[in-house]
């Protein structure tokens, strides 16, 4: 007895006649070593399965890499200056960020995590709208539909299910949309990760799961998170291909993610790509990474920096001159200046907006909470008339 799934694989319904594995199954396994096209010294390391991206696309993506690093540096500075509440930096992971955005077409969708700000900006979202969220004064600073980028998700792995739903809908409508869903190594331990991958595989939807394995989930190292041979190996358990890639090699990322996206667009179904990279900085500004890892561990990753590597590679081919490099740095500085100016401009906050746009119609509890807050705010203002020692006049004094 056997049952046929929508992919045509036959499953035995009795253990006695369990089917033999198909000869193609081992093709679902990832490479023994992460795919690399440019080594840390900037030398080309060809891989017959993945042709190198064109010089033009590499140079274009390198410009985004320079901007991405500058955006991370600027955001960190703004946090220290108290202009932004929190920033999960992708310093050192910028090659993953840039590749995830540039392999997609306009009609595709990107589902990012909280750490993927550079990917969101590379996809075209206005940096100031992105940072509005991280400043903490709006629900989400950008319209997801404008550039087809879902809101950045803080709850781990929830976005993977949303991404699969989006891909499933696109398939039912007969659209050519591909969805790229990002998550971290820690998120692969979530039940939502399992549900998303299983659903995607069974319904054969056009989604690429992109795991940035930066070796930590806050303070938890990967070894305490998973003992799978690699995170990419998890794919075969769902019946989809998994691949591993050097997450600090922009060329390899463009090739591997580009191939996964094309496969999904051509009806090949979902796949999982694991990028091996490293979180060079603390989890966020609220974390002290020196409590759980040594400076030596971090230093070992400095020579693998994605930016330096691509610069050496492109300079070695005479594709990048000093003038070209200076022009890219100036463009990145201009983006940083816009971010700085925007975040140094004080905005009027209306606390009552907290309750708007949560539901089309407010629930009873939400209405009560909104009324309670408005009453409290009004009470804080009323005693102003009572004299110079009142709470309101003290508040006013503090704001000068």
Ligand X SMILES: Cc1ncc(C[n+]2csc(CCOP(=O)(O)OP(=O)(O)O)c2C)c(N)n1
Residues of the shown chain interacting with Mg ion in the complex, contacts defined by CB under 5 A: 184-186, 214, 216-217
- Contact partner at residue 135 from Mg ion, ligand X, none, CB < 5 to 8 Å by partner kind: none
Q: Which is nearer to Mg ion, 124 or 221 (CB)?
A: 221
What, of ligand X, Mg ion, none, does residue 252 touch, CB below 5 to 8 Å by kind? none
Nearest residue to 219 (alpha-carbon basis) of 158, 302, 154, 284: 284
283 is catalytic: yes
- Interaction between residue 120 and ligand X (CB under 6 A): no
The 8-class DSSP code of residue 243 comes to: E
Select the residue interacting with ligand X from 64, 83, 91, 115 (CB under 6 A): 115
Question: Toward ligand X, which CB reaches closer, 108 or 185?
Answer: 185
Q: Which residues, in sequence order, are bridge partners of residue 47?
A: 50
**Candidate residues 155, 221, 229, 351; the one interacting with ligand X per rule CB under 6 A:** 155
Stretch that binds ligand X, among 210-218, 233-241, 249-257, 302-310 (CB under 6 A): 210-218
Residue 89 binding target from Mg ion, ligand X, none, CB below 5 to 8 Å by type: none
Q: Which residue has the tokens 């409508």?
A: 173
Phi, psi of 367 (to 5 degrees): -60, -45
Q: Is 91 in the site for ligand X (CB under 6 A)?
A: no
Contacts of 13 (CB under 8 A, 6+ apart): 1, 2, 3
| C-alpha torsion sign, points 254, 260, 263, 267 | negative
From 29, 128, 202, 218, residue interacting with ligand X (rule: CB under 6 A): 218
- Active-site residue, 400 included: no
Which residue, 245 or 370, has its beta carbon nearer to ligand X?
Answer: 245
Q: Can residue 216 be called a binding residue for ligand X (CB under 6 A)? A: yes
Q: 27 in helix, strand or coil?
A: helix
Contact pick of 2, 6, 13, 154 for ligand X (by CB under 6 A): 154
What is the C-alpha separation between 311 and 313, in angstroms, rounded?
5
- Our answer to whether residue 279 is catalytic in this structure is yes
* Tokens (6 digits) for 234: 């998890």
Q: In the chain, what is the straight-line distance between the N-terminal and C-terminal CA atoms, in Å?
A: 79
Q: How far is CA 126 from CA 19, 88, 91, 122, 146, in A?
A: 52, 18, 20, 9, 10
Burial of 112 (0-12, 13-18, 19+ CB in 10 A): buried
Q: Does 186 bind ligand X (CB under 6 A)?
A: yes
Q: Which residues contact 49 (CB under 8 A, 6 or more apart)?
A: 31, 35
Output 91 or 147, the one with its CB closest to ligand X: 91
Residue from 250, 333, 323, 294 nearest 59 by CA: 250
194, 292, 293, 340: which one is catalytic? 292
279 binds ligand X (CB under 6 A): yes
191: number of Cβ within 10 Å: 9
Q: Looking at 139-147, 179-187, 286-294, 311-319, which segment touches ligand X (CB under 6 A)?
A: 179-187
CB of residue 293 vs Mg ion: minimum separation in angstroms?
Answer: 12
394 vs 399: CA distance, rounded Å: 9
Residue 343 touches which of Mg ion, ligand X, none (Cβ within 5-8 Å per kind): none
Active-site residue, from 115, 135, 283, 311 = 283
Least separation in angstroms between CB 277 and Mg ion: 9
Give me the residues that bind ligand X (CB under 6 A), please: 115, 154-156, 184-187, 214, 216-218, 279, 283
Residues known to be catalytic: 279, 283, 292
């Amino acid at each position: 007895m056997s049952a046929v799934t929508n992919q045509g694989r036959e499953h035995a319904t009795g253990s006695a006649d369990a089917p033999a594995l198909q000869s193609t199954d081992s093709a679902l396994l990832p490479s023994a070593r992460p795919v690399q096209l440019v080594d840390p010294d900037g030398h080309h390391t060809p891989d017959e399965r993945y042709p190198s991206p064109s010089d033009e696309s590499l140079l274009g993506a390198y410009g985004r890499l320079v901007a991405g690093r500058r955006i991370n540096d600027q955001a960190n500075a703004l946090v220290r200056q108290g202009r932004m509440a929190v920033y999960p930096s992708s310093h050192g992971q910028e090659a993953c960020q840039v590749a995830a955005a540039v392999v997609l077409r306009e009609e595709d969708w990107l589902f990012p995590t909280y750490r993927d700000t550079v990917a969101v900006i590379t996809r075209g979202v206005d940096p100031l709208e992105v940072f509005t969220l991280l400043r903490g004064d709006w629900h989400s600073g950008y319209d997801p539909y404008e550039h087809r980028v879902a809101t950045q998700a803080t709850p781990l792995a929830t976005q993977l299910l949303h991404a699969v739903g989006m891909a499933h809908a696109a398939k039912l409508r007969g659209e050519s949309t591909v969805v790229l869903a990002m998550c971290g190594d820690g998120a692969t331990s979530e039940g939502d990760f399992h549900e998303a991958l299983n659903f995607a595989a069974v319904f054969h939807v056009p989604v690429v799961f992109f795991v940035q394995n930066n070796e930590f989930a806050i303070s938890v190292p990967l070894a305490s998170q998973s003992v799978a041979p690699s995170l990419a190996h998890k794919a075969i358990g769902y019946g989809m291909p998994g691949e591993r890639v050097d997450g600090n090699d922009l060329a390899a990322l463009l090739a591997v993610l580009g191939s996964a996206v094309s496969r999904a667009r051509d009806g090949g179904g979902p796949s999982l790509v694991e990028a091996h990279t490293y979180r060079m900085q603390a989890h966020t500004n609220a974390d002290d990474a020196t409590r759980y890892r040594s400076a030596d561990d971090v230093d070992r990753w400095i020579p693998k920096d994605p930016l330096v590597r691509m610069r050496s590679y492109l300079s070695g081919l005479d594709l990048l001159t000093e003038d070209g490099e200076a022009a890219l740095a100036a463009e990145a500085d201009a983006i940083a200046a816009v971010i700085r100016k925007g975040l140094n401009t004080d905005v009027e906050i209306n606390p009552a907006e907290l309750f708007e746009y949560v539901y089309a119609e407010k629930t009873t509890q939400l209405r009560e909470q909104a009324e309670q807050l408005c009453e409290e705010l009004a009470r804080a203002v009323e005693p102003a008339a009572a004299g110079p020692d009142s709470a309101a006049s003290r508040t006013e004094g503090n704001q000068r």
